[in-house]
Amino acid sequence: MNVIDIINKTKKSYELSDSEINQLVNGYTTGKITDYQMSAWLMAVCLNGLSERETLSLTTAMRDSGETLDFSGLGRITADKHSTGGVGDKTSLIIAPVVASCSVAMPKMSGRGLGHTGGTIDKLESINGYRTDICGSEFFDIVRTTGFSIISQSGNLCPADKKIYSLRNATATVDSIPLICASIMSKKLALNADCILLDVKCGSGAFMKTREDALRLAELMEKTGKSAGKKCRAVVTDMDSPLGNNIGNALEVKEAVEILQGKYKGRLYNLCMELSAYILELAGKGDYKKCYEMAENAVSSGLALETFRKTVSLHGGDCRICDDVSLLPQAKYSYRIKAVHDMKILAVNSEEIGMTSLILGAGRQTKNDVIDMSAGIVMNCSVGDCVSVDYTIMTLYSSTVSDFSEASFRAVNALKFCRI
Ligand code: URA
């Protein structure tokens, strides 16, 4: 069938066959189908959607456009985790060593931050010396030795997704649930872990702003993963307010280390234990309650911190940060935002906090922007807290911005509060 007939079928909401979807993906990846033809098809998908079968077919065609990894030689069950992104989300830095400490290997490829959301790779690169661009055999060796490794997307994984995702960015076709599902799941399936946990964020700082959309994406990704032969679970979690107290690369590594040191409990800790327990349950380590206890023991025994230390060291990073977080990049300038009267915090808008962090230098507006690793925000309050006049609600940090007027204006605007 020619590509115009394929576009027409989706335009008229007729289902495509597997072979038509393969033809489309292969034709576009090899340059036989043009950008304008693919754009037209993507727009038709945005408007009319795809069936579950078509979404699975698109996902596997994208997976098969490049190489697929094979961890069977590890002799251990493997798990992967994906978060759809948010503000202050450093869960992978905690969950990977926790899960690895419970004998489930986690080889993980992560992304960089863009816009108001952060990326795990940038966070790890704030550790002096940590290399994220390591090659396949070294990746494999680290996973074999410590149980986990996190590297940047490398090799020839899902070239179709790379090409289609940049086209979607340029043609207003990102916000389609089947396209997001195929893009995320093709990369998860190419990494090829036995178990996949998907954390679909919902709220002001997330891709999915409504619970209804988040649930639809979660359900579709879980079904797609299972149909492709994986043990797969998707959960929807809150991103209405930032996750944890610290936002910004080195500040988030600091908070993750402090959680692994057992210093803090609270919303971030609870979520990490919950997600770790789901992964361990998928990996057959027991029921949810038992797996939750295993995850908590990995932290309280210090084993997860030791696993993190070993992985950081094998990546060339300064693992002394596990004992002394002041060795992480420190900001030259800081600015305290204080309560002007006694107040109750009603809401903290994640997206605005993410944008404030970006203005301070912690994020990127475009792919090639250079990041200030020390920049970010430390929140000293959570939703529901009551604070007295003069209390420091948050502190802004930067080494590149010394005039805090714009950032502090945005940070204050991110708060919804009432006088008490
Ligand atoms: N992340 C991805 O990798 N793909 C999407 O389409 C959206 C978010």
297 in any annotated domain: yes
Segment 112-140, tens digit of pLDDT: 887 888 899 999 999 999 999 998 899 99
Catalytic residues: 82, 161, 168, 183, 187
User: What's the CA gap between 303 and 280, in Å, rounded?
Assistant: 16
Name the pLDDT band for 369 (thresholds 50, 70, 90): confident
Residue nearest to atom 1 of ligand 1 (CA): 184
Q: How many CB atoms lie within 10 A of CB 141?
A: 13
Segment 262-310, tens digit of pLDDT: 999 999 999 999 999 999 999 999 999 999 999 999 999 999 999 999 9
User: What's the CA gap between 90 and 381, in Å, rounded?
Assistant: 18
Going through 105-202 in order, the beta strands assigned E by DSSP cover 106-110, 148-152, 195-202
Burial class (CB in 10 A: 0-12, 13-18, 19+), 390: exposed
184 pocket-lining for ligand 1 (C-beta < 6 Å): yes
Q: What is the average pLDDT across 140-160?
A: 94
Query: Is the separation of the CB atoms in 220 and 232 below 8 Å?
Result: no
350 in any annotated domain: yes
**Does residue 312 have a pLDDT over 80?**
yes
Instruction: Report the pLDDT value the prediction gives residue 85, as an integer from 0 to 100.
Output: 84
Query: By percentage, how much of the chain surpasses pLDDT 70?
Result: 100
Q: Under 8 Å CB-to-CB from 148, ≥6 apart: which residues?
A: 96, 97, 99, 100, 105, 106, 107, 108, 142, 307, 311
Name the pLDDT band for 365 (thresholds 50, 70, 90): confident
Residue 383 sits in the same domain as residue 308: no
Name the pLDDT band for 367 (thresholds 50, 70, 90): confident
**Does residue 92 have a pLDDT over 90?**
yes
Name the pLDDT band for 30 (thresholds 50, 70, 90): very high
User: What's the CA gap between 29 and 350, in Å, rounded?
Assistant: 36
Q: 170 CA distance to ligand 1 centroid (A)? A: 14
User: What's the CA gap between 319 and 329, in Å, rounded?
Assistant: 14
64 in any annotated domain: no
Q: Could you give the number of structural domains in the chain?
A: 3
- Categorise residue 370: left if φ over 0, alpha if ψ from -120 to 50, beta otherwise: beta
DSSP three-state, residue 380: coil
- pTM, to two decimals: 0.95
**Does residue 81 have a pLDDT over 80?**
yes
Domain region containing 364: 330-419
DSSP state of 14: P
Instruction: Report the pLDDT value the prediction gives residue 414, as an integer from 0 to 100.
Output: 96
Beta bridge partners of 378: 246, 395
Q: 36 CA distance to ligand 1 centroid (A)? A: 21
End-to-end, the C-alpha distance of the chain in Å comes to 68
276 in any annotated domain: yes
180 pocket-lining for ligand 1 (C-beta < 6 Å): yes
Segment 211-241, tens digit of pLDDT: 999 999 999 999 999 999 999 999 999 999 9
Instruction: Report the pLDDT value the prediction gives residue 368, as an integer from 0 to 100.
Output: 81
Query: Is the separation of the CB atoms in 81 and 108 below 8 Å?
Result: yes
Residue 119 sits in the same domain as residue 203: yes
Residue ending a domain, among 281, 302, 322, is 322
Q: What is the DSSP string of 229-268?
A: T-EEEEEEEE-SS-SSSEESHHHHHHHHHHHHTT---SHH
67 in any annotated domain: no
Q: What does each C-alpha distance from 231 to 71, 227, 286 come to in angstroms?
A: 15, 9, 14
Q: 183 CA distance to ligand 1 centroid (A)? A: 5
Query: By percentage, how much of the chain surpasses pLDDT 90?
Result: 91
Residue 297 sits in the same domain as residue 336: no
381 pocket-lining for ligand 1 (C-beta < 6 Å): no
56 in any annotated domain: no
Residue 317 sits in the same domain as residue 229: yes
Name the pLDDT band for 411 (thresholds 50, 70, 90): very high
